[in-house]
Amino acid sequence: MFNLIFNKSFSEETQEKIRSDFIEAKEYFSKYYDFSKKEIDIYFSDISRMKKEDISEILKIEKVSGLSMSGYGALILEFLDARYSKNIFLKLIFHELNHEFRCQTLPTPNNIWGDTILEGLALNFEKQAANELGYELKFLTDYYDKPDEDKLKWGLKRIIEIAKNKEKINHYDWYFNHFGDDSSLPTNFVYRVGEFLISKYCEKYRIRPSDALKITNEEFEDFAKKEILCEK
């Protein structure tokens, strides 16, 4: 069961559009994942009236933001621009529902390796949904230069090492780095590495991203080391 909860800034017209589009999203998502015995609260927030200093840099750039409460049955979707876009909504809802289902299905470590897998699964599921439903998939971060495969392999190796050794990192630089504060790290690097890893796994075993959601973190790590990094 899904509960859609809006703050007062959303017009009745926009709320009705979201409710209508959510029916389509729910029908698609339910083909692959069973939420029938779960209760999910989805909070919609229009934060365009917030003070500029209170808005995160990420939100200023992408105008939208999503957050899953990691298996606790709650999603938060924030819109900086009050103008509603069905494409953006579908991208957000599929991404965050993918996180929610993954966290409710399998143990997910709260570290950079767990996040890499979570983001990779969600990004690849977004692509699957976009292709099958026929909507455009593009965010502002798509305009940033994408790292080549050697850089992605380096990142994959480092992320596994960081998680294993419990190294302290600059979270913003590894996950976002929108302003190039660390020139050695591409923008949205954790997301890019995760997208690369899950894409390679699905390609190798000829499965769709929706099927990859039930693969364990250990299996992904084993695949990364043997098939991508070619470690013995």
100 and 130 both lie in a single domain: no
Q: What is the reported pLDDT for 141?
A: 58
Higher pLDDT, 52 or 219: 219
Largest Cα–Cα distance in the chain? Answer: 59
Q: Flag whether pLDDT at 153 surpasses 80.
A: yes
Q: What rounded mean pLDDT belongs to the chain?
A: 86
Nearest to 185 by CA among 150, 155, 162: 155
Structural domain total, the chain: 2
Range of the domain at 199: 108-232
Same domain as 181, residue 131: yes
Same domain for 217 and 155: yes
Describe the crossing of helices 189-205 and 149-165 by its angle, rounded to 10 degrees: 100
Beta bridge partners of 57: none
Are 88 and 148 members of one domain?
no
CA–CA separation, 58 and 52 (whole Å) = 12
Phi, psi of 12 (to 5 degrees): -60, -40
Least confident of 39-43, 85-89, 109-113, 147-151: 85-89
Residues 181 and 97 in one domain: no
Same domain, 53 and 138: no
Question: Among 83, 105, 127, which residue terminates a domain?
Answer: 105
Q: Do 219 and 201 lie in a common domain?
A: yes
